[in-house]
Structure 1
């Protein structure tokens, strides 16, 4: 029997960013190797990577999918959504209201489904993974392609391992620690983040970023 996965990746489909390229390749691999996947992604209004390819064109086989859109402007609605996220999770950051939109306005998509795993990719999907594990007892696998939170980026890109988290961000690491498994693309990133995450290495998995090249016919050459 195939494993059923809820794959939550704001940057995945449409393929309009470097992060989306990484995630769509993983979706292709999983969906063509016996996993039944429901996908929740985010509609991004502005992109430097316009894409009109369908999931079929990308060789990705999805059972069901939704593309959830939010307003990124400051409005009373988005202010309320951010405040609700803070009261629910004990942390908030720019863009966290997408998690609110998925959980409370698209719950019908997943509430009656039985999943073997929830896989989260890209912020703020880890908030949803945490919510589904805590409320429904689902197994949650989180993925980290870059150091997170951003304040913990190595200097000069961030404050390094000793960066102090503002009060409204302090709950992030506690939420991250709640995952059953953590996926990293390489040992270097894993070892760096384990300086402030609590799980031991037995709860971590290394999966390098997938890469492939289209088949190109050999170029004929002639001798001189």
Structure 2
């Protein structure tokens, strides 16, 4: 399957001037260095955890894949494959169309509690956010950062207003202000607002604070599902 490219309709040209955005070159260079170091450090130190999760996923579903990849939309509307540990049944995407009517979040995002597609080990992985660990590979590839807005699905971006599309001004992240503020209890509208607050105020200190808070949340899971 070919790597996804740019979305058919350019997102960047439609972004309004609701926020004053400037590319902070020094910050961007330093941030990329931290991303590479952090991703390598995480992959090496957590290799034992990757092995354990792989075994548990295979024990529950020997025929299913360990990893799940999905097309997401990144900076400037560029699409890429995002990697995760598989936490759902293998035909989750086919089942989704029958569940959309049960969506519990308003706006261009889908979330429901007790999602029937989630496997037993998947519930644990999601509760602890360990299903997100393979995204360290995305960080190394450069299509994600350690900190930034969560990368949306193409079908979600298709519902975005011009205001919402401002989320795509920066590289998406494994964690961000939304995740450490309330995650699934936060509405789509509030998530966008939090992402724009981050974009306006992004700095290395801000990123480090979010990373540290993320570690606390992983050690003490909140309302993730």
Tell me, yes or no, whether TM beats 0.5.
no
TM-score using structure 1 length:
0.28
Q: Which has the higher contact order (CA 8 A, sep 6+)?
A: 2
